[in-house]
Structure 1
Amino acid sequence: MKNSILILTIIFCGIIGKAQSIEKIVLDENDDLSGYYLAVKPQTEKIDAVLVLLPGFGQNAESIFPETKLHNVGYLNNILTIGFASGTKLYADKETQVKISIVLKDVLDRYEIENTKFVIGGFSAGGTVALRYAELCKQYPDKFPISPKGVFVVDSPIDIFKFYELLEENIENKYSQIAVQEAEWVTNLIKEDHGIPKDNIDYYKEINPFSMKKKYGENEKWLKDMAVRTYHDVDIEWRLVQRNQPVSTQSYLVTSELINRLLLMGNQKAEFMQSYKTGYRSNGTRHPHSWSIVDEVECIQWVKKIVE
């Protein structure tokens, strides 16, 4: 049944491709990265839900749609899809929170949608931002424009403290030149922002969505009643062969702990979405760190279910 739905969706997406449009809505002409958002309206005037998607670090909003068909499937299911780039941030700091809120306020006014009809998700660092923003909406409901019904992350490093430690290990171990270069660049970025996380705990615990070590914060408590998903292509062999990275370095080690804690809290809507060898970039390159690990048809059905 699922395969039949997927085939039909792909056929319909091909048929509607030319008719379906992506509207660019500019809110700040002086900000080329975060001063606008992209909107894909559904095929009918009715909007049942809003799906907000955030790309990876430093990527623009346009980078989302070639990598996933979520907006295509949403188009067929009365879902408004919003693409927004929150900027060159690895976490939802105050500046990033303000940028997202400005966009969401405009969406609420422009499309006249209830603030409870939202699901927010993101890829890589975008997922880290989305997760903390969703928590903040519950933590400070009077200060944020929406009350999301769900949030999902796509292979995201959701614990900045653990993430920084792993980056340092990559640099020290020197298993892979690519991994070392990436780690050196990201650690410098973090240090230049607000210093090493463990040396500035009070700051980072406020913007960090989840901490393996509870002394660094327990912000996951704000997700107790929310639908939460973490998506991962658990291809251990690829990581070993291509990056010399063992399981201990992978983001799903942390997200599985998040889901487990939520389940222990009684959240039966917390799910670890595991796939295998589903990650491919739009250019055909095999990579487990990709939007494609999300089953678009199944995800949109999940969105519809949780906003009902």
Structure 2
Amino acid sequence: MLWLLASRAAAQPVQRQRVQPTDPVDLYWNGRHAREQAYYSVAPAGTPRGVLLLLPGLGGTAERVFKETTLAQEAARAGLLAVVPTLNNRLYLDSASTRLLELVLTQVARQYPAMGRNLCIGGFSAGGQLALAYAEALVRDSTRHKWRVKAVLGVDPPADLANLWHRGQRSIAQNCSSLLVRGGQSTLKTLGDAFGGSPEQFPAVYQQHSAFIDTSPNGGNLAWLAATPVRVYCEPDMAFWRWHFCATMQLEDLNAVTLRQLVACLQRQGNTRAEYLETTGKGRLNGRQFPHAWSIVDAPECVQWLQTCLNR
């Protein structure tokens, strides 16, 4: 009982810190465009032994991350500072989102100067794509950055943006659900406007911005994570998607195939700590079944894995 009480007391309340007084490039959307850039955090009782940076999905607010998963709270109990920035309006890592993450980590390091520079990065959906991409950038530029990426996790992320483009095309062609059609149209417009057109027209641009690209033997940017522990989570519940959204959907219309390929690509490069974790019946959103959700992660077990990565 004493251990349980101490464990519950170890995590502090969620705090909000402002990073920039304005958000001129619309990095964050919470029903309206944000007026400033910030981050939310949960600190451990003592000096943090590192940081767990968690990135929301597209349109998912930073505040809701603390309600949809207990990863932040579990991490704080384990001695990590859990940080969730106000970044939810990007499908790919651009200079503005990179700048925000750098500002957040700089401010965190200034607030906790005695903390080690151990960094774990995770994200949900589009945030998972950003998490993988940012980890790759930090490893690639390790001489410039002091942070040491100890582990990366993605919760059902669309890691291959070329694949995401083609899935958007299929959603429009299937024309089963207005929600999926609008999602496909939004994906094609966002990527087309940013990259100039389709993956066939601009393959190098898609490879440059994707955390993983299946058409490259070493996965493109993924090769930078060949020595880093990586986990990706997925719940490919085809029965759910076919019943609620589109009877003609195939497994290739979900993230599962790409994520299996991503892990296989890392393993071929000698990464023995790359894992694909597939769940069943764990996806919940607002109390209802939904397989694309933070809840597919077993938070206590995941934090145990993070601790193992920190200790190596």
Q: TM-score, normalised by structure 1?
A: 0.89
Change (3 A) 1:216 1:93: farther
Q: Which residue of 1 aligns with 2:234?
A: 232
Deviation sequence 1:105-129 (CA, Å, 0-9, x none): 11122112222x1100000100000
- What's the CA shift for 1:63? 2.2
Question: Distance between the aligned counterparts of 1:144 and 1:85, measured in 2?
Answer: 22
Answer whether contact 2:121 2:135 (CA < 8 A) is retained. yes
Task: Say yes or no: does 1:272 pair with 2:264.
Answer: no
- What's the CA shift for 1:91? 0.8
- What's the CA shift for 1:229? 0.4
Q: Which residue of 2 aligns with 1:64?
A: 65
Paired AA for residue 272 in structure 1: Y
Query: Residues 105-184 of structure 1 correspond to what in structure 2 (within 5 A)?
Result: 105-112=106-113, 113-115=115-117, 117-184=118-185
Which of 207, 210, 220 is the matching residue for 2:209?
207
Q: Which residue of 2 aligns with 1:293?
A: 296
Question: Distance between the aligned counterparts of 1:273 and 1:85, measured in 2?
Answer: 27
Paired AA for residue 306 in structure 1: C
Paired AA for residue 291 in structure 2: P
Paired AA for residue 174 in structure 1: N
- What's the CA shift for 1:61? 1.5
Q: Which residue of 2 aligns with 1:3?
A: none
Q: Which residue of 1 aligns with 2:31?
A: none
- What's the CA shift for 1:196? 2.1
27-36 vs 235-244, greater mean Cα deviation: 27-36
Name stretches of at least 5 consecutive residues in structure 2 with no aligned partner: 24-33
What is the percentage of aligned positions where both structures have the same residue? 27
Task: Say yes or no: does 1:38 pair with 2:30.
Answer: no
Which of 212, 218, 221 is the matching residue for 1:219?
221
Q: Which residue of 2 aligns with 1:196?
A: 197
Answer whether contact 1:101 1:144 (CA < 8 A) is retained. no
- What's the CA shift for 1:34? 6.4
Deviation sequence 1:76-117 (CA, Å, 0-9, x none): 2112100113241101122211111111111122112222x1
Question: Distance between the aligned counterparts of 1:35 and 1:20, measured in 2?
Answer: 22
Question: Distance between the aligned counterparts of 1:169 and 1:119, measured in 2?
Answer: 34
- What's the CA shift for 1:215? 7.7
Deviation sequence 1:212-243 (CA, Å, 0-9, x none): 11189621110110000000113221122122
Deviation sequence 1:131-160 (CA, Å, 0-9, x none): 011011111113445221111110110000
Q: TM-score, normalised by structure 2?
A: 0.88
- What's the CA shift for 1:301? 0.4
Answer whether contact 1:227 1:270 (CA < 8 A) is retained. yes
Question: Distance between the aligned counterparts of 2:296 and 2:125, measured in 1?
Answer: 12
Change (3 A) 1:255 1:12: farther
Deviation sequence 1:11-32 (CA, Å, 0-9, x none): 988x659x83111110112123
State the number of aligned residues.
295
Q: Give the secondary-structure state (helix, strand or coil) at the position aligned to 1:258.
A: helix
Paired AA for residue 41 in structure 1: A
Name stretches of at least 5 consecutive residues in structure 1 with no aligned partner: 1-7
Question: Distance between the aligned counterparts of 2:37 and 2:164, measured in 1?
Answer: 29
Paired AA for residue 261 in structure 1: C
75-84 vs 251-260, greater mean Cα deviation: 75-84
Q: Which residue of 2 aligns with 1:26?
A: 18
Which of 248, 251, 259 is the matching residue for 1:247?
251
Change (3 A) 1:206 1:182: same
- What's the CA shift for 1:52? 0.6
Query: Residues 3-22 of structure 1 correspond to what in structure 2 (within 5 A)?
Result: 16=9, 20-22=12-14
Answer whether contact 2:123 2:131 (CA < 8 A) is retained. yes
Q: Which residue of 2 aligns with 1:4?
A: none
Question: Distance between the aligned counterparts of 1:77 and 1:51, measured in 2?
Answer: 11
164-173 vs 144-153, greater mean Cα deviation: 144-153
Question: Distance between the aligned counterparts of 2:195 and 2:124, measured in 1?
Answer: 23
Q: Which residue of 2 aligns with 1:186?
A: 187
Change (3 A) 1:289 1:33: farther
Q: Which residue of 1 aligns with 2:267?
A: 263
